[in-house]
Structure 1
């Protein structure tokens, strides 16, 4: 089952979701739905009582519950009761709430948006563009960020072509590229910028994004030309790609007298942009 976890917002409330590519279905965290629709101070207890009620009534909805791993507030992933969109509509009928109807409309929109994006991938790009604009990013930065997503996808496709393992091997190669061009591992880079769960690329400056793209694009191009036979050869290519961007970084720093990799993050450089307006 191929799944991609995301966080959706309903009236500023976070709802953890997972898109199942095989089934082409959204799954939603039941606890988050209850937290959104009710005034319960303990959503888990509310759900526990409701689950017992559904079981006692012999509700078919109870049999539709699946457990997926979602990240909790402590940063760890836990198995969480979930339902797909159709069953969530039925669940809402068991939860008296003035927010029920707006929530149903919200659910329907999420499902419709996803189906539209599958038919027209350009809509996904448009949605990402609008989200970045809403956060205050400049159009120039957004263009670089969207391009970085494309380049990252090309590198990921190359790794898959080579039969490399998603997860540990992918992360290890990314770490090598990042360390080689920036002088920091991904973890060190995030610590420098004061990040925890935030996406590192969303907190890079224009120049950092450009050099990171150069490193990843170079790695992909070299890999396609050399066609590495194993993981060790791919690690060597990752260093080569990172070196190309690393040399560019050093030369730029020599010319400008300024560090490219800094503690600046989205919060700081967006605030600085607002002050200049």
Structure 2
């Protein structure tokens, strides 16, 4: 298990990667937001002061191994959601910016539920802020819509959410690209990052084709249950895979690439590629 440092209010916060997400040392976060030098005692008082936090403590906080100067130690850690819940119980001026930010995020979420177009507009702006080109964003947003249509179709055809969605998605990806999403992420050198946020235009197009074809096959063949939809997923992915292979023959280049946008935004790569 890898331990790293994060900077929080100018203080170093130890964190470790556990079950696919970062977990932060609770004492480090609390110490960054209070004036006391004894976070352990403060945490005990905080749980007494906030009975609901105390009751849910064992669900929020897990004991994980953290590397220290004296060797690995078992320490109380919480994921991002848990840390935000803890911050809500700290009556400190240092915690106020985070509380206001949480209130703003909650308000924005209510707005998005009332008007889904707001969520779409915000997603576009986030991608632009990260350096993605408008052309790439259009494909990514269309891919999100195609994916949503497919999962809605699965929901009405006897597919029981996760992990069955993940298995069917892997079936499409394997047939379309010769790799499951997990293998694809490894191929691109990704960890927690969203795979499709690191796909090129062509990779996004063939992903969409595989999922759109799967949706259409499931409808036309009236696929019911996980087993029948797995067959439809393989057929849909194979349609994208056949098209990908034909393009590769014509161009002499592979569609799947290890390229990702971890270091350089997509729009900058596009501009660099146009230079003589």
Kept after mapping to 1: 8 A contact 2:177/2:241: yes
Aligned pairs for 1:12-161 (under 5 A) are 35=29, 38=32, 46=39, 48-55=40-47, 59-63=50-54, 65=56, 67-68=59-60, 82=82, 89=88, 91-93=89-91, 96=92, 98-161=93-156
Q: Structure 1: where are the runs of 5+ without partners?
A: 1-8, 15-28
Q: 1:176 aligns with which of 159, 171, 176?
A: 171
Alignment gaps of 5+ in structure 2 = 1-6, 14-22, 67-76
State the Cα distance separating 1:53 from its structure 2 match: 1.5
- Shift in CA distance, 33/242, structure 1 to aligned 2, threshold 3 Å: farther
Once residues 31 and 61 of structure 1 are traced to their aligned partners in structure 2, the CA distance between those partners, rounded to angstroms, is 21
Q: Which residue of 1 aligns with 2:270?
A: 273
Seen in structure 2, the aligned counterparts of structure 1 residues 239 and 52 have a Cα distance that, compared at 3 Å, is same
CA root-mean-square deviation? 3.7
Q: CA deviation at 1:193?
A: 0.8
Q: CA deviation at 1:12?
A: 10
Conservation of the 8 A alpha-carbon contact between 2:87 and 2:98: no
Following superposition, the deviation at residue 100 of structure 1 comes to: 3.0
Match of 2:29, SS state, is helix
Question: Which residue number in structure 2 is paired with residue 4 of structure 1?
Answer: none
Shift of 1:230: 2.8
C-alpha separation between the residues in 2 aligned to 1:208 and 1:143? Answer: 14
Given the superposition, is the C-alpha separation of residues 183 and 62 from structure 1 closer, same or farther in structure 2, using an over 3 Å criterion?
A: closer
State TM-score, norm by structure 2.
0.74
CA positional deviation for 1:185: 1.7
Shift of 1:241: 0.4
Whether contact under 8 Å (1:222, 1:237) holds in the other structure is yes
In the TM superposition, what is the alpha-carbon distance from 1:232 to its structure 2 partner?
A: 2.1
The number of residue pairs the alignment matches comes to 242
Structure number with the bigger relative contact order (C-alpha 8 A, sep ≥ 6) is: 2
Q: TM-score, normalised by structure 1?
A: 0.73
